[in-house]
Structure 1
Amino acid sequence: MTSPRRPRADAVRNRKKILEAARELIDAHGPGIGMDEIAAAAGVAVGTLYRHFPAKTDLVAAVVADWLNRVADDAEAAAARTAAGSRALDEIAAFLGRLLETVAGDLAVKAAARAIGADTSTDADTAIKRTATALTALVRAGQAEGDVHPDVTLADFRLLLDNAPTDRTPQAGARWLTLVLPGLTTHGRP
């Protein structure tokens, strides 16, 4: 039995360039942007783009999965810093702040994924589970430290993020965070 062959370095670079170009162009122009324009912006031939992503839905799903993986990496890094001695509430606040910044920038990509029916597949599901696991660890650590209210759950984070001002200015996002953080803490409510 042979092991799976690793992708060539140029193929990995091309995929990365395609994903970056797609993210930028969909953010700027919406889901109607053509595959030809994405290939040109990435500096690759259209055939190369289609070898990596046979359909636009595949490309958009990969962009969304890439974003979700970056969020999961960030959440896991915050949980690791907490395990190493950082205060969980500080890590939660910083994570939420970073997430608000990136959501505002990538909102068009997620809207495009919904608009063209992209299936975000197992890559996205795995990233979502990784994020949930890391956030759960942060909440439990914050509760053990006495800073996070005992009734706060992962569902509360989903509720907060579903109602976050992702289509507003960074100042509005910062103000939102200032207002909601006390609701998570033992310091902000009885």
Structure 2
Amino acid sequence: MGRGGQALARVAVVVRAGAAPLWWPGLLAAGVGALVPGMTGRRIGLLAGAALFLVTAAAVALARYGRYTRLADGAVRAARADFLQDRAVTVRNWRRSRRWWLLLAFLAALGSSFVLPGAGGLCLAGAGAGLWLKAVRLGRRESGREVLLWVPVDRLAKGPAGRPVEAYRITGIAAGDAAPGGARRRR
């Protein structure tokens, strides 16, 4: 990195990276689970799954949001020597480091269909929806302040709001290749 620069990843991109790998396999597991009658029956399983979807989405969207806001309020300007990581690289690194956990979560959601049909899949999809909602909230915060929030890559082991993260870095709204909220920037 030369002369003290650090690699920085977008906070919203890291949060949003888990949304799709939880949402789509969750919906697939719920669909397959709806085909299995299960021990409780399809109707009870899908109603329990709908409730789990809402509770999980809300819990994931609100989890540690106070820490995110404290880190964002104490953010410092990124140094000129800092290296901004591409959105695709951040997403790929996040998904590769968690691919076995995602596979186990999918298999657990499928297996739970024999007890509550579709409930495990909808719970998994709710976690993906919650991460997407959290990224959207971060994007609104970024747009309101007209800054982008970045976190040092070497501090991401416990997540973008984990204990190793001491402060976020900020850049102008045009930096990087992702829009506020972590979505692809439209040209």
**Bigger relative contact order, structure 1 or 2, given CA contacts below 8 A and separation 6+?**
2
Query: Which of the pair is proportionally richer in helix?
Result: 1
Structure 2 length-normalised TM: 0.30
Query: Which of the pair is proportionally richer in strand?
Result: 2
